[in-house]
Structure 1
């Protein structure tokens, strides 16, 4: 594995990337996202230029207990979705073949090879994304009815950093990680994106619209920027 400053380093291209993006991701280490057909021979020089920021951000993340080693996290024994106040006990069975997951009320059974920790985590991540849609779609519909702001569709994704977005056509995309946040933060993110159906920017008019529905929006926006402290390591 390639490393930089002792951190696991991943360089990947993204078809929609317009510029080089350097990120420190808990559980993964250092990631560099580059535009398609970008000359990756430039990456070392970019990292050196970003070195003060990397060292400063690394210290901040590690002070908060983040693991940047790139190791595969241990599969959890319990999953708690704070936003919908649901908790699942997770059991594991060592069996040959592909990894599968079955749900029985508040218990999950993950079956598959014991050595396939990443496979076990992947089925739990897919389960989380399904539950996120089940919970968030009715919340979004309720917010839409309350505010009179309509949307075209909801998509639940497993973005690494972004909480949500809204397209010009009114399609709202949200991060499955919202399930791990307090419900007031999940609801506020939905309101934030609904307001983008009226203003596709963060102009004074946009924030005035947000404030008309949520007077405490500034506190909630600030807490959202720190929302990843609520997300377990296995889902980061």
Structure 2
């Protein structure tokens, strides 16, 4: 069984898995993580039990722009980081060895074996994450001071679907994918998380605080919910 509901299916035994986990992974389709000695003949029955959830969740994810087809993306010819207004042209030098990225103005040179796409995608994703921290930290600091909403630390992560979060200690985590969003959506996301330093929930008090600083926040929430389509399929 290699497909289910017209999506690619991958079964991954994991030595630390204690139960079966079924998830949808952008760019890959359905992933089933099972304990090491699990009888994989049970997987079809488990998927049938999850059929309704898989259908509904995949529909919502695809509406938001996430690719679940599992089609391998091509090597990109540019890296358009809309958040900071930088659109890098990408060139490739096909040679053995480690994958390296050299930045020269708005041009990136990727050196390494071109057939190793996953490693190239990973290198470009790391480059994007580094730019996210470089770009977002000053913006977050400025907004924090201006709105009198202090935070303790910033973390940049490469998550599958979540745009950001705020811990009880005031640590704000953002998804490096936000670099593919327009700057006004990035600003809204940072406001959203800074307001969580006061209210660690989505209570009426929380939304009242958001509205005080951004009266049309609902428009941005709607745009953010569909912004996944702006992220290239190779990013991971």
Q: Name the TM tier (shorter chain).
A: 0.7 to 0.9
Note if 1:182 corresponds to 2:151: no
CA distance in 1, matches of 2:43, 2:208: 41
RMSD: 3.0
CA distance in 1, matches of 2:162, 2:227: 11
Retained in 2: the 8 A contact 1:163–1:178? yes
| TM-score (normalised: structure 1) | 0.86
Equivalent position of 2:156 in the other structure: 156
Equivalent position of 2:128 in the other structure: 128
Equivalent position of 1:198 in the other structure: 198
Pairwise mapping of residues 138-149 of structure 1 onto structure 2 (< 5 A)? 138-149=138-149
CA distance in 1, matches of 2:202, 2:11: 31
CA distance in 2, matches of 1:61, 1:136: 26
Pairwise mapping of residues 1-236 of structure 1 onto structure 2 (< 5 A)? 2-10=2-10, 22-23=23-24, 25-32=25-32, 44-58=44-58, 67-235=67-235
CA distance in 1, matches of 2:62, 2:201: 33
Retained in 2: the 8 A contact 1:101–1:109? yes
CA distance in 2, matches of 1:154, 1:65: 27
CA distance in 1, matches of 2:152, 2:60: 39
CA distance in 1, matches of 2:61, 2:196: 30
Please report how far the alpha carbon of residue 7 of structure 1 lies from its aligned counterpart in structure 2 after TM superposition: 2.2
CA distance in 1, matches of 2:27, 2:158: 15
SS of 1:156's partner is: strand
Please report how far the alpha carbon of residue 68 of structure 1 lies from its aligned counterpart in structure 2 after TM superposition: 2.6
The unaligned stretches of length 5 or more in structure 2 are none
The unaligned stretches of length 5 or more in structure 1 are none
| TM-score (normalised: structure 2) | 0.86
CA distance in 2, matches of 1:19, 1:146: 47
* Count of residue correspondences: 233
SS of 2:87's partner is: strand
Q: Deviations over 1:171-192 (max 9, x none)?
A: 0000001011111111111111
Please report how far the alpha carbon of residue 43 of structure 1 lies from its aligned counterpart in structure 2 after TM superposition: 5.4
Aligned pair in 2 of structure 1 residues 46, 122: CA closer, same or farther (>3 Å)?
same
Please report how far the alpha carbon of residue 44 of structure 1 lies from its aligned counterpart in structure 2 after TM superposition: 4.2
CA distance in 2, matches of 1:165, 1:64: 19
Q: Single out whichever of 62-71 and 119-128 deviates more from structure 2.
A: 62-71
> Which structure exhibits the higher relative contact order, with contacts defined as CA atoms closer than 8 Å and separated by 6 or more residues?
2
SS of 2:142's partner is: helix
